[in-house]
Amino acid sequence: MTEANKAVEPTTPRIDWDDSKMSTTYANVCNVLGTREEIMLLFGANQAWQSDSKEVKVFLSNRIVLNPYAAKRLHALLELGLKEYEARYGELKL
């Protein structure tokens, strides 16, 4: 068999996660908005320390804009991550 006739096996590229410019932000609130072309994730922090407040102010800190395909992949990854978390630490009830 010649080199030209050998089946070419697809290879998965090695991913190099470069976190040198990454920042970390805490969020305890998330909201999702969407249009036909994009899904937006809004992250922020609830500043109400008293549960009897009539108004809750949420300071938004980050907006992540995804195309629908990336949003669907994120959904699958979050679902898998939460299943693993609940298997280890117990079910999360909302």
Contacts of 77 (CB under 8 A, 6+ apart): none
Residue spans per domain, the chain: 25-89
| Token pair in block for residue 27 | 């969020």
66 within 8 A of 94, measured Cβ to Cβ:
no
In angstroms, rounded to a whole number, what is the distance separating the alpha carbons of residues 59 and 6? 58
- pLDDT of 83 over the 80 cut: yes
DSSP string, 9-68: PP-PPPP----TT------SEEEEEE-SS-EEEEEEEE---STT-S---EEEEEEEEE-H
What is the H or E stretch that residue 71 is in? helix 68-89
In angstroms, rounded to a whole number, what is the distance separating the alpha carbons of residues 5 and 52? 73
pLDDT of residue 91: 97
- Confidence label for 31 from pLDDT (cuts 50, 70 and 90): very high
As a whole number, mean pLDDT of residues 14-25 equals 94
pLDDT of residue 33: 97
